[in-house]
Amino acid sequence: MDKAVSGGAGSPPRCPQNLAPICRRVREKIQSYDEYNFSPRYNDFLKAFFDLGQEYDSLDDFYRICVAVPLQMKSVPCALYLFDEKKGALQLICDTDEGLYPQPEPAPPSIHLQSESYETESSYIVPIYSRSIFHTPAEDPTGENWFKREGIAGSNKIFGMLEVKQLENLTPSDKFFYQKYCNRIGYNLYNKLIAQQNIEHLKFINSLVMDIEHNIIIPNMYFKHIFNQLKKKILEIREIRDALSGLEVDAEDREQLEECRRHSETIQSEMMAYHSDLVKHHANISLFLESLFRREHFKKGHLVLRPRKCFVEKEIILPQLEHYASRLRLAKVDIDRPLNMLEEEFEILVDVGLLAQVYANLFSNAAKYAAEIIDHDGRPRKAVAYGRELVDDFPEKGKQGIKFNVFTTGLHIDPAVAEKLFEEGVRGAGTENIPGTGHGLSFIKHVIELHGGRVGYEPTREGNNFYFILPVPSSNPPLNRGDDKY
């Protein structure tokens, strides 16, 4: 455990080591407040501002609060000006004369954007900084131009200016307080703009999901009808071919007729093969679309499983392997199948669509990264293999898990890289010229962990094994060992 920071007589209470930076900031704040020495009225002023900022959600109400609090707490009229990036100028948003302006008005010449407070003939003008001006964590990766990239803040990280009127009645202490007040406005305005942006993003995503469902997933079903019609036409070619075979013609025309029949037979055979590929490809894409664009994902803000019992090899592995077979052949990668997985397979509870994408990513990686090695018999080998084995005490002692393996030949992955392989964006050495983003393995990790499982990598004698372990459903009887590893 972290050691606490000790305190002597009259010192603050002991602070754990991992709280030390925050405790130090608290002490600095106490010192600052002692130096500010704001009157009880000004302290109530800030309390009212923060309470009302939490009570009202809309930006328009927040703009009203910014000018209403000074008016009611100190009888000081104010005006709020914000920088409009599109117009490149300050705009009057709200004041204590008219309230909120339905259409913002240009600021008068005396009110301009400036990084320091300044005075006019009758008012004190204070800049409203974005949050990063007065609170920028050292580890913040956003950089100086983040607000501009996000379309949130104005130039020089300043949201706008607050005009505090009746300058003749303001003391130096009052002016200092309004500088601090504008800092609070900037902080709250930043948070409200971010919240509004997030709400707009969520609305857009929900609308996009509806569009995808209406314009892609539902029309995608029409392909089944097209495939059925295509199959009928292909069968009509067979009928024409059979009709040609039954025709009685002169010997002289017999050879030409037979050539037409053979040609139509070839066309029919090729079209049936194309039809089969189309149907399988459509089924695969439909499965992926359904599993990735479920409304529940977007409502909950994370992937939501739709588990059902299935035979993993028959319903998931083999369809994906068939889908990637041509790519593996093109890459000259042999496919080694286990001898006993299918005959000894049992049903487990998984989300078929998401687990299919796990295998799709693994087989895609095999086509890209498998490399030729010299095996233990001294022969060249470039292959992908899959299988499964039972493991004890997973996910806890006395339980059983099932470990699914996908092995590829090649050099071992550097241990330092291997530790981070399942993190977003991480790729192995020497992959710079191979298409990829480093997202696939992190997606696999996310899906497997949602299933209550675990992912991993292990170097083997002739290559690399990527695996995941899923719990065996409690309804299953204890299973016998003896399965192929891969």
* pLDDT tens, residue by residue, 210-241: 767 666 666 677 777 788 888 888 888 888 77
User: pLDDT by residue (tens digit) across 41-65?
Assistant: 888 999 999 999 999 989 999 999 9
Amino acid at 68: A
**What is the CB-side half-sphere exposure of residue 170 using CA atoms within 13 A?**
23
**What pLDDT sits at residue 92?**
97
Both structure tokens of 486 = 């891969």
Rounded to 5 degrees, what angle do the CA atoms 48, 32, 113 make? 65
Both structure tokens of 237 = 């070619």
**What pLDDT sits at residue 344?**
64
- Give the span between the Cα atoms of 130 and 314, in whole angstroms: 57
User: pLDDT by residue (tens digit) across 98-153?
Assistant: 999 999 999 999 999 998 999 999 999 999 998 654 444 333 333 344 344 444 43
Amino acid at 124: Y
Considering Cα of 422, then 426, then 432, then 437, what sign does the dihedral take?
Answer: positive
Q: Which has the closest alpha carbon to 309: 346, 356, 358, 360? A: 346
User: pLDDT by residue (tens digit) across 255-273?
Assistant: 777 788 788 888 888 888 8
**Mean pLDDT score of the chain:** 83
Rounded to 5 degrees, what angle do the CA atoms 242, 245, 249 make? 145
- pTM equals 0.60
- Give the span between the Cα atoms of 32 and 159, in whole angstroms: 25
User: pLDDT by residue (tens digit) across 411-443?
Assistant: 999 999 999 999 988 877 667 667 777 788 999
**What pLDDT sits at residue 207?**
75
- Give the span between the Cα atoms of 386 and 363, in whole angstroms: 10
If 0-12 CB within 10 Å is exposed, 13-18 middle and 19+ buried, where does residue 454 land? middle
Q: Are 359 and 310 in contact (CB under 8 A)?
A: no
Rounded to 5 degrees, what angle do the CA atoms 368, 220, 224 make? 100
- Give the span between the Cα atoms of 323 and 362, in whole angstroms: 12
